[in-house]
A and B are shown apart, each in its own frame.
Chain A
Amino acid sequence: DQQVKQNSPSLSVQEGRISILNCDYTNSMFDYFLWYKKYPAEGPTFLISISSIKDKNEDGRFTVFLNKSAKHLSLHIVPSQPGDSAVYFCAAGGGADGLTFGKGTHLIIQP
């Protein structure tokens, strides 16, 4: 049973527009959430996180929104830049076994 779901394997967005990546989770024990970014041939790197006591966290062009009642979070990138093209992993912590990752969404920023 997949506890963290990223239902869009890929997403294509024009440069300068907003990119919205979505993530759903099922385990109500998760109490914080992270987004990782991964370029080809590199390991994932931490991007932004949010605790369950908040509904929004912002860091520059990146904002993460958390809707606990819907068990849904999203990552907004605005404006999108070519260097944002990467695979984005949603991860959740607070369950029994460290972090649980989604399958990832491949974001493609088109010029």
Chain B
Amino acid sequence: EAQVTQNPRYLITVTGKKLTVTCSQNMNHEYMSWYRQDPGLGLRQIYYSMNVEVTDKGDVPEGYKVSRKEKRNFPLILESPSPNQTSLYFCASSLSRISRGRGVQETQYFGPGTRLLVL
């Protein structure tokens, strides 16, 4: 079954304690990204990766790191979490980066979400 998995699904932590949220996809997708969803703000992109060892900042990258050592995995790292990073996080993947003029209606496949509370 084609899917994007995230772990953990729920996490409560304290300020400053490093944490990693894992993301894995089994569709051999090149493009992966992380979003956070906050009330009234919708989905905002944190980081994205166009392929192995290629990552770039999205709209709200501050306080986050990512790595892409393997095609299937794209972990999100919070080196020193703060309360303003309390949010619902989604990992997503697609076959390739959605870029202008390709005329390809590619969709992103989303993971089930990770709800993070930073105290």
Task: Please give the residue numbers on chain A whose beta carbons come within 8 Å of chain B beta carbons, in ascending order.
Answer: 6, 9, 29, 31-32, 34, 36, 41-46, 49-51, 53, 89, 93-99, 101-104
Contacts and interface: CB of A to CB of B under 8 A. Distances in A.
Interface residues of B, number: 30
Interface stretch (B69-77, B79-87, B95-103): B95-103
Interface string B30-46: 01010100001111110
Interface of B: 4, 31, 33, 35, 40-45, 48, 58-59, 90, 92, 97-101, 103, 105-113
Contacts of B45: 97-99
The binding surface of chain B is classed by DSSP as loop
Contacts of B4: 43
Given A34-B105, A44-B43, A93 B98 contact: yes
6 contacts: A41-B113, A42-B113, A95-B100, A97-B48, A98-B99, A103-B42
Contacts of A98: 31, 33, 45, 48, 97-99
